Amino acid sequence: MITLALSKGRIFDDSLPLLAAAGIEVLEDPEKSRKLILATSRPDVRVVLVRATDVPTYVQYGGADLGVAGKDVLLEHGEQGLYQPLDLKIARCRMSVAVREDFDYAAAVRQGSRIRVATKYTEIARQHFSDKGVHVDLIKLYGSMELAPLTGLADAIVDLVSTGSTLKANHLVEVEHIMDISSRLVVNQAALKLQREPIRALIDAFARAVTP
C-alpha cells in the first residue's frame, strides 16, 4: 500500500490533475466527508488528509510514503530526511515583506533601525533579514498576519501573497519579494527503498504531468 499525504484546500485541489495523470482518482470529496483516509481508484494507493504544516512530519516519520507540501512549509519544518524529487508547480505564490502604506520601509532599513516583524514563517524571515544585515525582532503568529502592522504589533510582516487582494484590502504594500513558492513532492527515504518500483512509477507519472 502506498500512502500519500495531502492537505485539504488548494493543495488537494491542485493535486487532483496530477493524480489523474498517474491513473489515480480519489473516491471521496474531503469537503463532503469527515474521513481522514480516502480510498482511490487504485487499490494500492490511499490518501491521508493532514494539516499543511504536518505533511513533512508524516512523510519524515513514515506515517505517509509521499506527500505534497509548500516550499514555505518545508523550509520552516527543515528538509532533513525528506527526498524532494519534484517541483509540482502547484499552489504557487510568493513570500514577501509587507508594511502599512504609510510606513517608510526603505528609510527604516537605511537608518539601521530595529524592525519588528510579525510572521508565521520565522525561519524564512530570520534568514532573509540576516542575509540583508537588517536587525529584526521576530514575533511569531499563527494567522491573520495582516492585522499586526494595523494594530501596532509590528512594523512589517512576512507572509505569502498570491493575488495581493488581502494586502490591498488591509492597506498594506509589498516592499520586498523574498522568494517564489510552489508545492513539492516529498518522499520518505525508506519507503523509496522498500517500494522502489511503484513509487518511481508515481514520481515519473507526476513529472510528466507537471505544467511548466
Residues contributing to the site for ligand PRT (CB under 6 A): 7, 9-11, 51-53, 70, 72-73, 91, 93, 159-166, 181, 183
Of 78, 70, 172, nearest in space to 118 by CA? 172
State whether residue 100 is helix, strand or coil.
Answer: strand
- Minimal distance in Å, beta carbon 71 to ligand PRT? 6
**Whole-number Å distance between alpha carbons of 34 and 30:** 7
- Minimal distance in Å, beta carbon 188 to ligand PRT? 20
Positive or negative: CA dihedral 126, 129, 135, 136: negative
Distances (CA, A) of 12 to 35, 46, 127, 143: 14, 13, 29, 21
Nearer to ligand PRT, 174 or 192 (CB): 174
Nearer to ligand PRT, 135 or 171 (CB): 171
β pairing state of 45-49 and 37-39: antiparallel
**Whole-number Å distance between alpha carbons of 26 and 42:** 9
- Minimal distance in Å, beta carbon 208 to ligand PRT? 23
Nearer to ligand PRT, 35 or 196 (CB): 35
Q: Give residue number: closest CB to ligand PRT.
A: 70
- Minimal distance in Å, beta carbon 1 to ligand PRT? 25
Nearer to ligand PRT, 95 or 191 (CB): 95
